[in-house]
Amino acid sequence: MQKIKELFKSVHTKKGTYSMALTAVVIAIAIVVNMLAGKLPSSAKTIDVSGNQLYEITNTSKKVLKELDKEITFTILAEKKSVDDRIKTFVKKYAALSDKIDVEYVDPVLHPSALDKYDGEENSIVVQCKETERSIVIPFTDIIVYDEMSYYSGTMQEKEFDAEGQLTSAVNYVTSTVNKTVYRLAGHGESTLSTEVSALLGKSNISVNELNLMMKKEIPEDCDLIFIYAPTTDITADEQKTLSAYLKEGGKVLFMSGGADADTPNLKNLLKEYGLQQAEGYIADTERSYQGNYYYLIPNLSVSGKMANDISSETVLLVNSVGFTETTPASENVSVDSFMTTSEKAYAVTEKEQKEGTYILGAVAEDSETKGRLTVIGASTMIDSNLTEMFSNTENLTLFVNAVTSNFDDVENVSVKPKSLEVTYNTVRHAGAFSLLAIFGIPACILIIGASRCWKRRKA
């Protein structure tokens, strides 16, 4: 017995006892941490390590989900095992942000009547709200979008991941009964909206129809906004009167210039009524331009309220834009609020002259009495698909949708752009001194130091 007591009094035994106690404490802490972690929501436990932050949820969607006050059900019509992991992961993380959302999987093979019950199709998500009795079907092909051109080459190539945009739009649709109709003016060589722009407007429950005032003099009763998109010829004097009367009755008009080449005196007169004078020629800016291309303008943004929704980088790019200056409006009740301007070192350039000054590139003119509202943007290239795809990091499309939705008190911009699934490669186009140092200098130094140490050891 005495030997056993002495054994426990030894230094090695004390160290061993201490180690065992420390190990037990660490294990206990690990168990407690795991238990606490298990209580966390899935959104907090999931770390997004995807290439383009596929599972990152924007503030736009978070706001929609935070304000959600109706019960929503996501019914996924597919065998759970067969659903793309990206879709499952995103839906789980998205639904975790609101206790009003319930997610269920229904296998249409095991339950054939489900397709008729939910009025959906296999491999789709049915979003429904019992309170409003509204529902919408989102096919998986609208979430993981394939490049249409890849169909012709025989290889299916993924292009975009639009889970957030589709789900947020669906939630907004089934919980709201508000729908707006925009009429795009036609008959003057106007441009047509790209599929992407139409889709973004659709996500905010805004549909786009066509209106030709040469064929139909009266403006439809369901018209919430008239969109004049890059006309190449002028409107007639009668059309000017119709649009002017529409504005005086509280109507809303959005005008995007098609350039300085078109001769449009009637359109310019309509703008003058609301305190905006179009400058002659195209605008060049020597201070705020893209890489020294003076006609590639990066305007100063001054946005607030709805116009500022989801604007973070404040980078908008306009190419070949016309400019405007303020003039005396037809009514003293009209006020002009510019939201895009050039620097003081801008020029209105024609073949004959260059007029220096600060020019308006985007503005809202509103009559405080009639509530008529005219929104003007100097370049249709702002929403041109060639430009927005090449410069996808700009706020062009977000600002445009904001310019539309800000005309309505009961509509918010809930449009979320898809995330790219295209593979990007890291290439060094312009290797500067730092790049050369990192690629060649540092490895060379390591090799030299290693070789010198080996040489010293061999001599020793």
For range 303-307, the mean pLDDT: 91
Residue 269 and residue 190 share a domain: yes
Task: Tell whether 226 and 375 lie within a shared domain.
Answer: yes
pLDDT digit string, tens, across residues 111-146: 999 999 999 999 999 999 999 999 999 999 999 999
In a domain, residue 422? The reply is no
Confidence of residue 452 (pLDDT cuts 50, 70, 90): confident
pLDDT averaged over every residue in the chain: 88
- Return d(Cα 2, Cα 9) in angstroms, integer: 11
What is the per-residue pLDDT across 242-278, written as a single tens digit (0 to 9) for each? 999 999 999 999 999 999 998 999 999 999 999 999 9
| Residue of 68 and 17 predicted with greater confidence | 68
The pLDDT confidence band at residue 33, using thresholds 50, 70 and 90, is low
Q: Indicate if 370 and 345 belong to the same structural domain.
A: yes
Three-point CA angle 342, 378, 306, nearest 5°: 85
Answer yes or no: do 364 and 286 share one domain.
Answer: yes
Instruction: Return the C-alpha torsion angle 330, 336, 341, 342, nearest 10.
Output: 40
Q: 33 with 65, same domain?
A: no
SS (H, E, C) the chain: CHHHHHHHHCHHHHHHHHHHHHHHHHHHHHHHHHHHHHHCCHHHHCCCCCCCCCCCCCHHHHHHHHCCCCCEEEEEECCHHHCCHHHHHHHHHHHCCCCCEEEEEECCCCCCCHHHHCCCCCCEEEEEECCCCEEEEEEHHHHEEECHHHHHHCCCCEEEECHHHHHHHHHHHHHCCCCEEEEEECCCCCCCCCHHHHHHHHHCCEEEEEECCCCCCCCCCCCCEEEEECCCCCCCHHHHHHHHHHHHCCCEEEEECCCCCCCCHHHHHHHHHCCEEECCCEEEECCCEECCEEEEECCEECCCHHHHCCCCCCCCCEECCCCEEECCCCCCCEEEEEEEECCCCEEEECCCCEEEECCEEEEEEEECCCCCEEEEECCHHHHCHHHHHHCCCCCHHHHHHHHHHCCCCCCCCCCCCCEECCCCCCCCCCCCHHHHHHHHHHHHHHHHHHHHHHHHHHHC
The answer to whether position 79 is within a domain reads yes
Of 169, 195, 210, which residue is a domain's last?
169
Q: What is the pLDDT of residue 29?
A: 76
| Range(s) of the domain holding residue 210 | 180-410
Region 304-313: mean pLDDT is 88
Residues 19 and 93 in one domain: no
- Of 146, 169, 192, the residue that ends a domain is 169
Count of domains for the chain:
3
Starting at the edge strand that comes first in sequence, how are the strands of the sheet with 293-297 ordered? 289-290, 293-297, 318-319
Q: Kindly report the CATH number assigned to the domain that includes residue 245.
A: 3.40.50.880
Residues 210 and 259 reside in one and the same domain? yes
Q: Is the pLDDT at 23 greater than 80, yes or no?
A: no
Q: What pLDDT does residue 425 have?
A: 47
> pTM for the complete prediction?
0.76
Give the mean model confidence (pLDDT) for residues 426-452.
61
